[in-house]
A = this chain, B = another copy of it.
Amino acid sequence: MPKKDSEFALQDFLPYLLNQAAEESSLAFQKAYKNRYGMLRTEWRVLFHLGTYGQMTATGICDKARIHKTKISRAVQKLSERRFVVRARSDEDRRVEYLKLTPAGEAAYRDLRTEAEDYDARLRGQFTSGEVALLRMMLKRLAGLDAAG
């Protein structure tokens, strides 16, 4: 009986497939924020968190977006230099800093959000809405975003 050597299919290995799909879609969408605003991936993520959820702290974004705090710290620095974000120390706890978008930040957010919606619609267009719903459900579970998020 031969060793079942060739049964493993790399192109069906979920972590591999997930990465290929993620990279492809990220690279395509990246053009929007990179070319038009010179932003990095972490920067648009911070921008979008503040844009969709309103005022947050850096730690809040860390938890929600699952990004390390040093990356957030530097992204906030950049966004604040560009006057897209303002920081305000809390009075109750002087360690924490509230972040929110400036009008310029809001404008950039709205612009990029339109891009995002268009791009997402294009991706979804390849499938039925039932398939998309299932895909989202599965991705959320794989990401561990079922309950918390």
Footprint of B on A, CB under 8 Å?
Answer: 6, 8-26, 28-29, 45, 48-49, 52-53, 66, 113, 116-117, 119-120, 123-124, 126-127, 131, 134-136, 138-145, 149
Contacts and interface: CB of A to CB of B under 8 A. Distances in A.
A21 B20 contact: no
Contacts of A124: 14
A58 B49 CA distance: 40
5 contacts: A6-B52, A8-B117, A10-B48, A14-B135, A19-B26
A8 to B, nearest CB: 5
Contacts of A52: 6, 8-10
A116 B8 CA distance: 9
A18 B8 contact: no
A74 to B, nearest CB: 18
B23 A21 contact: no
A113 to B, nearest CB: 5
A121 to B, nearest CB: 10
